[in-house]
Structure 1
Amino acid sequence: MDSSSLHEAQKEDGKVIQQINFQEKEDETEDELQQQTDIITYMGYELYWAAERGKINNVMLERRNNLQSLLTPNKNTILHIYITSTSSEDLEQTEFPNAKKETPLHIAARYGHASIVELLIQHAKALHPQNLEGDVEAARQMMRMPNQNQDTAFHEAVRFQHLSVVKILIREDCDFVHSANEEGETPLYMAAERGYSDIVFEILDKCKSPATGGPDGRNVLHASTIRKERGKMGALTLKEADKMGWTPLHHAANMGYFPAVKLFIESPIDREAAYMKDTQGNTALHLAVALNHELTMSEIIK
């Protein structure tokens, strides 16, 4: 770590390296203490001892982008130290979530720390080495844990467009794609609404029948239509209406988004959506006429 990174890490920790109280390490030799002192100077001694004693606190969990830059000479992160210094029994009893019910996995996923995501998942699996199914289930329980907004680590990875983390989480547990947060957003809807086509394609390619729901009764097809990104949404139905009674075809007609209208109408199944009325009694054709979208009107009438 260069001097500027060291200064930043120490400043973030709120301490500059000063004297170290070795009283709590009486059983260790002078050489061992000197070696550990060298390690501590890379990340701040208070932070190192907290991790080494298994004391994960809110400050440590909220290191944001410095989470991977605070390293020992062996390039171990705070979480490496914590995990290797804590027994499985202690770890299971540790109060992982912070005040916002965010786990280390939430933080790592939010800031795209793929290597730490891998580390946390592998350690969760190792909690029950005598039982393979137990290993997998322990990891899945951790990955599915929601924060106070009902966001899982997968929601965090999608929200901040960390494809590498998304791939890891999907590989471990595709059930992520069925959970919605307190806003009613499933991960697939979240990706479609933000225009993250690479994540949308990854979810559709790797997960069977992912949940597509979003807020206000909308689904992924509503979101992609509004963004004028039809993409791989062809397998989704046009007949689901949002709270206004608008199907994706209503939205496309209202915007005069002719390519989507044409594609929707050409499907024998989706064609029936042309006759569906919203809460005001309007069909997609009514909306197209009101805004004089001539190509859209012609296509629906035809």
Structure 2
Amino acid sequence: MNSDLYEAAAKGVIEPFNQLAIDRQLGSLVIHKKNSVLHVNIIASYTQNKEGESVSTKFVELVLETCPSLLLQVNAKGDSPLHVAARYGHAAVVGALIEFAEKQPGQELESGVKSTTRYMLGMKNDEEDTALHEAVQSGSLDVVEILLGADPAFPYSANGSGETPLYLAAARGHKKISAEILQKCPLAAHEGPNGKTALHAAVCSYSYSYGVIELLLDRKKSLTRERDQHGWTPLHYAAYIGRFGPLILRADKSAALIADEDRKMTALHLAAGQGEFWIVKQIIDHCPECCELVDDRGWNVLHFAMVSFYKSDLKRLLNNYPIVRNLIFDKDVKGNPPFHVLAAVCRHPYYYGYDIVPWKIAKGYYQAVNKQNISVEHINLYGFPELEKEIKELAKADGNGQYPAGVIKTNKEKEEKTVIYSYWKDLDEDVIGMEKASEYHLVVAALIATVTFAAAFTLPGGYKSDTEDGPNRGTAILSKNAAFQVFVISDAIAMVLSLSAVFVHFILSLKFFKKFIFLFIFALSFTLVAMAAMIVAFVTGTYAMLATPSLWLAIVTCIIGLSFFFLVIFMYYKVISKAKEEEMEDED
């Protein structure tokens, strides 16, 4: 096909092809990809407006009248004109092709004579796609309606990828197309690759497929129990991804009792392993009995929750669901109760766990041992490499396969979003540098304690003379002054807190207490509050002495003293703003 004929075919000009039709050469007129005149015209019309589409339809009709064989002629990829028209959403052209096919004699096959229309609808290209497959993938509802109306009883099978038209529509979130297929073909096949169904595809779709799921659950409710090659139901995928679970559960709550084939995990296990608290809540609300099920390692829902849940979600789960709380002492095949798993992940469940469950229960789980006679306390102090390695293997994400994000998500992935006490040794060495910082903090705390102790016996305003008679002899002169009273109280607070900080730093020097990083945090807090109390003591003490003889001097002195707090606030906001700037630079 030369350039002039190609341009004529693209524009839908029939005159240059009349002589070729007479000479019966029109069928052999193709370009390098074996696209015929019809292929070229339909593809070129894709970018034209409605008027262009009308011209294209007329051109198709004229070409087919002069050369009917072009109706079923395929290009190098096995695409017939109907394939191309469906792919590009040319509803008018699809209608013209089917109308012309209805007028043609049937196609003689080994199995007998088949109407040209049915034969054309069943033609598959190299990808084994029919025209309906192409129309669904393009999202053209008009074309789908025409194709289904041409032969509603046609049994559309899967393409080369194992996808049926209904599966493709569900995977793309096409609710109207799915509804059209189910209405015109109630028995339409729903299969997809690897044993998946249209409902699997809709749940896994990143398109807006809520309506498709509702439709499939209404028309094909039995799909809730269909499994893929791994034994996963649609609810398994919903739980793992974290969406659409309630929809499926309302249609069939018994789906929550189905375990997969690989690890014997239920949807509840998957949701808990991925940290999906609200999906776990919905599953338990609809099917509480599934909490009793365990996977092939003997892990129940609480084992998974200990690994991946936020602290607040874990507390809600245990407080609101007694059936889950009763699983605290249930052991897996290696004898590990759920809090052993938490200890292996968090390495400080002593503090973490006591805040989750009541004291009486906490004491029990903390001393409970597994088959290797290892307790939570032992794991906290010395670790449990075997269990830690197992959890790391389960948390590995490779981006593909049955568990693209890993079987579980560990707390390490949530450290930036929630306060969870992790491996304290790492926190000590990498974040705070406790040992060196403790030395400096001890000096500061001791200095504050010394100054405030001395100030308590060198009171502003002095004492009443020892020569005076009466019970008030030797008492503070300003004892009834409000500012003086605040001075005494704040001075006492500063001294007590600074001495407490000194005590904490003293015991932190002992090897046994070094792992208790929260003690260091307490000491730091005590010292900071003691500093603030010392400033208040200074301000109120000077005010008490200066207010009567010189009020303006007392006020100026107070302002200078209180500037300490303004400087601290200023430095705080500067640090925060600088941290945000560095974070933005890292993201860039």
* 1:263 and 2:244 are equivalent in the alignment: no
CA apart distance, 1:157: 0.9
Alignment of 1:197-212 (within 5 A): 197-212=175-190
CA contact (8 A) 1:15 1:44 kept: no
Q: Do the aligned partners of residues 125 and 285 (structure 1) sit closer, same or farther apart at CA in structure 2, a change above 3 Å counting?
A: same
Match of 1:142 in 2: 120
Match of 1:14 in 2: 3
The match for 1:281 among 238, 259, 264 is 264
Q: Do the aligned partners of residues 85 and 45 (structure 1) sit closer, same or farther apart at CA in structure 2, a change above 3 Å counting?
A: closer
SS at match of 1:15: helix
Match of 1:254 in 2: 240
Match of 1:80 in 2: 61
Alignment of 1:62-81 (within 5 A): 62-63=39-40, 64-67=42-45, 77-81=58-62
Match of 1:33 in 2: none
CA contact (8 A) 2:240 2:267 kept: yes
SS at match of 1:232: helix
The residue type paired with residue 85 of structure 1 is T
CA deviation profile, 1:51-83 (whole Å, cap 9, x unmatched): 664623333243253248698x98764422222
SS at match of 2:93: helix
SS at match of 2:73: coil
CA apart distance, 1:167: 0.5
The residue type paired with residue 259 of structure 2 is K
Alignment of 1:107-126 (within 5 A): 107-126=84-103
Match of 2:273 in 1: 290
CA apart distance, 1:271: 2.6
Of residues 73-82 and 174-183 in structure 1, the stretch that sits farther from structure 2 once superposed is 73-82
Report the structure, 1 or 2, having the larger helix content. Answer: 2
In the alignment, the residues of structure 2 paired with residue 16 and residue 148 of structure 1 have an alpha-carbon distance, to the nearest angstrom, of 27
Q: Which has the higher contact order (CA 8 A, sep 6+)?
A: 1
Match of 1:28 in 2: none
CA deviation profile, 1:23-78 (whole Å, cap 9, x unmatched): xxxxxxxxxxxxxx9x9x9638655654664623333243253248698x987644
In the alignment, the residues of structure 1 paired with residue 259 and residue 103 of structure 2 have an alpha-carbon distance, to the nearest angstrom, of 55
Alignment of 1:161-176 (within 5 A): 161-176=139-154
Of residues 173-182 and 50-59 in structure 1, the stretch that sits farther from structure 2 once superposed is 50-59
In the alignment, the residues of structure 2 paired with residue 176 and residue 147 of structure 1 have an alpha-carbon distance, to the nearest angstrom, of 17
In the alignment, the residues of structure 2 paired with residue 94 and residue 42 of structure 1 have an alpha-carbon distance, to the nearest angstrom, of 16
In the alignment, the residues of structure 1 paired with residue 146 and residue 247 of structure 2 have an alpha-carbon distance, to the nearest angstrom, of 34
CA contact (8 A) 1:13 1:47 kept: no
CA apart distance, 1:245: 1.9
Task: Please list every run of 5 or more consecutive structure 1 residues that lacks an aligned counterpart in the other structure.
Answer: 1-11, 18-36
CA contact (8 A) 2:57 2:92 kept: no
Match of 1:31 in 2: none
Identity %: 35
CA apart distance, 1:108: 1.4
In the alignment, the residues of structure 2 paired with residue 250 and residue 109 of structure 1 have an alpha-carbon distance, to the nearest angstrom, of 35
Match of 1:243 in 2: 229
The residue type paired with residue 85 of structure 2 is A
Q: Do the aligned partners of residues 54 and 164 (structure 1) sit closer, same or farther apart at CA in structure 2, a change above 3 Å counting?
A: farther
* 1:127 and 2:104 are equivalent in the alignment: yes
The residue type paired with residue 276 of structure 1 is I
CA contact (8 A) 1:51 1:81 kept: no
CA contact (8 A) 2:38 2:60 kept: no
CA apart distance, 1:164: 0.9
CA contact (8 A) 1:154 1:166 kept: yes
In the alignment, the residues of structure 2 paired with residue 273 and residue 214 of structure 1 have an alpha-carbon distance, to the nearest angstrom, of 20
Whose radius of gyration is greater, 1 or 2? 2
TM-score scaled by structure 1? 0.73
* 1:233 and 2:230 are equivalent in the alignment: no
CA apart distance, 1:136: 8.3
CA contact (8 A) 1:177 1:186 kept: no
CA deviation profile, 1:241-279 (whole Å, cap 9, x unmatched): 12232110101111222xx32232233xx3332121112
Of residues 50-59 and 240-249 in structure 1, the stretch that sits farther from structure 2 once superposed is 50-59
CA contact (8 A) 2:57 2:93 kept: no
Count, aligned residues: 258
Q: Do the aligned partners of residues 172 and 95 (structure 1) sit closer, same or farther apart at CA in structure 2, a change above 3 Å counting?
A: closer
Task: Please list every run of 5 or more consecutive structure 2 residues that lacks an aligned counterpart in the other structure.
Answer: 107-111, 289-588
Of residues 223-232 and 103-112 in structure 1, the stretch that sits farther from structure 2 once superposed is 223-232
CA contact (8 A) 1:117 1:165 kept: yes
Q: Do the aligned partners of residues 139 and 196 (structure 1) sit closer, same or farther apart at CA in structure 2, a change above 3 Å counting?
A: same
In the alignment, the residues of structure 1 paired with residue 95 and residue 249 of structure 2 have an alpha-carbon distance, to the nearest angstrom, of 45
Q: Do the aligned partners of residues 177 and 248 (structure 1) sit closer, same or farther apart at CA in structure 2, a change above 3 Å counting?
A: farther
CA contact (8 A) 1:253 1:288 kept: yes
The residue type paired with residue 290 of structure 1 is G
CA deviation profile, 1:174-208 (whole Å, cap 9, x unmatched): 34563110000101111111112221121122221
Q: Do the aligned partners of residues 179 and 80 (structure 1) sit closer, same or farther apart at CA in structure 2, a change above 3 Å counting?
A: same
Match of 1:4 in 2: none
SS at match of 1:185: coil
In the alignment, the residues of structure 1 paired with residue 99 and residue 204 of structure 2 have an alpha-carbon distance, to the nearest angstrom, of 40
CA contact (8 A) 2:162 2:193 kept: yes
SS at match of 1:99: coil
In the alignment, the residues of structure 2 paired with residue 99 and residue 147 of structure 1 have an alpha-carbon distance, to the nearest angstrom, of 9
CA contact (8 A) 2:57 2:96 kept: no
TM-score scaled by structure 2? 0.39
